[in-house]
Chains A and B, each alone.
Chain A
Amino acid sequence: MARFSPFDIQARPNYLLGQALSFVLFVVCLGLYIHTSKARHQENPEDRVVPSAAQLRAGIHSSALEPAEEDDYIAPEGAGKWERFRHSMIWKDTASSGKRFGISLLLFLPAILLALHIGLYPYFNAGFMRFVLFFDKIVALSLLPILIIVFGTDELSKISLIFIGVAPTLILDVIQMVKAVPQEQVVKSFTLGANDFDVTYRVVLKQIMPQIINSLRLNLKPIMLFLFAGEMIAASDGLAYRIAIMRRHMGMDVILPYVLWVALLLFLVDFGLRLVNKRMHPWFQS
């Protein structure tokens, strides 16, 4: 057992200690939660602000195994858990939020290609760079009223909010990556008979692909943030819609599982992207 020395830069905690330390904060949070919940329930057995385990269990049950209130579906007698889950509130909300999320990810493709061109082609750089720099500084949420006026309250406004919020940052990031590709690579490609298309897509894009994926991973949270903002403003389904509705009557027993569910989903998407990166780009040295 190594000496416990938290303020030593050169300390080398052993594996077990390291693992144990990494769980300390989780345990503290959980403990604090349980303590607060207990205390509040002692004072008010029906407290909803910090739901107890039983309340949470009921909340999870109703979100994962019961259809949404506005749904007409009634589970047939003896329906399996999976069957119930597929018609549950959380499934429905995840599907509609997921759709918005997916569409905005698809919309980032042209943005990335634009960035690639801005970084490589002087004319694109001249035409777009200054505007993107300006646009990046716009706080997207403050544009909401305009977005609603222009795009209405349907899917379009939510997706455009995500796009306007995240795309400029992503574009600037990708431009930086393109500019960081050594000039030698471009020159060398031309001497090897490549044309502009080859240099753009087969040399530069291929080379920065893993970095683009990493940038997307970092932007998952902002994407989610803007998606939630959009859904809270006007929606009839979605994860954030449900959270907004549940807030109206302090449904923390449903909100907390939803929050954890979103965290899990984000983690899985992030993990998936990391895996894709590893598989597709074995040469990449981060």
Chain B
Amino acid sequence: MLVALFAFAPRAQAAAPPTFTVGWSVYAGWNPYFYMQKSGILKKWADKYGVVIKVQRFDYAASLDSFVAKNIDACTMTNMEALDMPAAAGVDSTAIVMGDYSNGNDAVLTRNGLTFDKLSGHKVMLVQKTVSEYLLERGMVMNGQQAKLNTLKLINTSDSDIAPAFLNNKGNEAVVTWKPLVSQILEDKSVHSIFDSSKIPGEILDLLVVQTSVLQRPDGSGERFAKAITGAWYETMSQMAGGPQQLAALKGSAAASSDTLESYKEQLKTTALFATPKAATEFTTSPTLKQKMELVRQFCFTHGLLGKGIKSVDDVSIAYPDGSVQGRKDRVRLRFDAKYMQAAMQGKL
């Protein structure tokens, strides 16, 4: 208890050579951070901007906890978690890199040809209150089964055990999870995918989120950090996309999750990477993002993910690059900032 309290105590601000810590967790769209650090790309960019950047691998939940406790400066997370973890907890956060969106990585799988209209009353295994539940709800809604949402029997299942738990008991008829677990489960020929994230493109986004307070540091070191990591990211992306370094980049990223190259490539097929700063900027500044975020924030609010004290969906607001705000103007907690991606696009980094 005491240790926990001390750990939560506000960190003393480091002096001299400004050091920044980026937390990431294993996922097809985030594995490149591993390669980025190993290959020295990150060091090159950090040196250019006179900062030190440490990259640390976490379990996903732990990385979010650390970010909310302000123990790390930046962290990879989905748009949904960015909203319901740091933003809803009052930690002003800024998404500076639009990494990718899930384009089939997440899927609803069923046995025996079960479809959405027959799912009512059946048990569904999933990690509750995450994008999995979001995907399931979107699937139900898009298949006209909105009224039956409450009749599903959701079993909150830890992601570390969800695949064997589902596969080894024929009584489990539906599961919602993500790759590579999806591929693993689909090896059972009686299981089929009835819905996946490719049907809701751009709704499950993978971001790099930085503490807004870090970006706004008066000495400008936060901005330099943001520039360095954005620069490094897009250099990594260009290597992944093609050229002589492609194989090394893919192998290095696959190694981050101990996947084989084939398996990793398979995962990338259903991950829509914004490989160029141009694509990322375009999406971030488009009105589409607002539409997608509207769906996500409504989901978070109706599921109480914004917290017990939040009485209106507008109390956790989102700001966009064009200056518009979703929700109350005085309660902006999550910001999409395309500035650094734009700079990368224009070659100004």
Contact = CB atoms under 8 A, between A and B. Distances in A.
A49 B8 contact: yes
A8 interface: no
A153 B90 contact: no
A144 B125 CA distance: 17
A148 interface: yes
A43 interface: yes
Interface string B1-13: 1100100111000
A236 B161 contact: no
Main secondary structure of the interface of A (DSSP, over half): helix
A232 interface: yes
A29 B2 CA distance: 7
Interface in B176-198: none
A249 to B, nearest CB: 5
B156 A36 contact: no
Nearest to A41: B90
Given A32-B5, A148-B164, 18 more contacts: A29-B1, A36-B8, A44-B90, A47-B90, A50-B5, A58-B308, A59-B308, A70-B154, A72-B150, A232-B158, A233-B160, A234-B156, A234-B158, A235-B155, A235-B156, A236-B156, A248-B305, A249-B89
Given A44-B90, A45-B90, A153 B155 contact: yes
Interface in A40-77: 40, 43-50, 55, 58-59, 62, 69-70, 72
Interface residues of A, number: 42
16 contacts: A33-B5, A46-B89, A46-B90, A47-B90, A48-B90, A58-B308, A70-B154, A148-B164, A148-B168, A152-B172, A153-B165, A153-B169, A234-B165, A249-B304, A251-B308, A253-B307
Interface stretch (B61-69, B137-145, B202-210, B274-282): B61-69
Contact of B172 (A47, A153, A254): A153
B129 interface: yes
Contacts of B68: 48-49, 250
Contact of B154 (A46, A59, A236, A247): A236
Contacts of B10: 39-40, 43
Contact of A249 (B129, B150, B154): B129
B161 A148 contact: yes
A58 B309 CA distance: 7
Nearest to A252: B89
A39 B129 contact: no
A44 B91 contact: yes
Given A36-B8, A47-B89, A58-B308, A248 B128 contact: yes
Contacts of B89: 44, 46-49, 249-250
Given A39-B9, A62-B308, A152-B169, A248 B161 contact: no
Interface of B: 1-2, 5, 8-10, 61, 65, 68-69, 84-85, 88-91, 125, 128-130, 150, 153-158, 160-161, 164-165, 168-169, 171-172, 303-309
Contacts of B85: 248-250
A40 B85 CA distance: 16
Interface string A19-33: 000000000010011
A36 B7 CA distance: 10
Contacts of B128: 245, 248
A251 B307 contact: yes
Contact of A233 (B161, B168, B306, B307): B161
A72 to B, nearest CB: 7
Given A49-B69, A248-B305, A249-B85, A234 B171 contact: no
**Listed residue (A29, A40, A249, A251) with the most chain B CB atoms within 10 angstroms of its CB:** A249
A212 B241 CA distance: 67
Given A235-B155, A244-B156, A36 B308 contact: no
Given A47-B89, A69-B303, A250 B65 contact: yes
A58 B165 CA distance: 36
A250 B62 CA distance: 11
Interface in A127-174: 144-145, 148-149, 152-153
A145 B161 contact: yes
Contacts of B153: 236
A241 interface: yes
Contacts of A44: 89-91
